[in-house]
Structure 1
Amino acid sequence: MGPGIHLTLHHTRATELQAEAKTHSLAAAAHPRRPLRTRVGWTLVEIGLRLATPPLAASAP
């Protein structure tokens, strides 16, 4: 696999994880009594993804 494919796979997975984090974030907002640990965990996942994903303008060749 070339580096381009590897990077594409990482971007695809990051997009999937962001969608999953958003879904869980919305679910947590709908159920405010969810355990704090779960909400904090998904918040950390979302923050990590934002830090790990470069801005769209920077990722274009």
Structure 2
Amino acid sequence: MHPETHLLLHRSRTAELQAAAARPALPREHRLRIQLGWILVELGLRLTQQPPHRAARLA
């Protein structure tokens, strides 16, 4: 990669990170609500998956 392009990408990423750091943090209740929402999404996805097909075993 050309050095000037590489430097431009680094500067762009630095500006993005600084802008994100300048934003106020979410309140604790809001973070918990988001985390609970994602847990429920994961649980729903697990419930909709098909169980693995297991071959019958004869003893």
TM-score range, shorter chain: 0.3 to 0.5
Bigger helix fraction: 1
* TM value normalised by structure 2: 0.45
Of structures 1 and 2, the one with the larger relative CO (CA 8 A, separation 6+) is 1
* TM value normalised by structure 1: 0.43
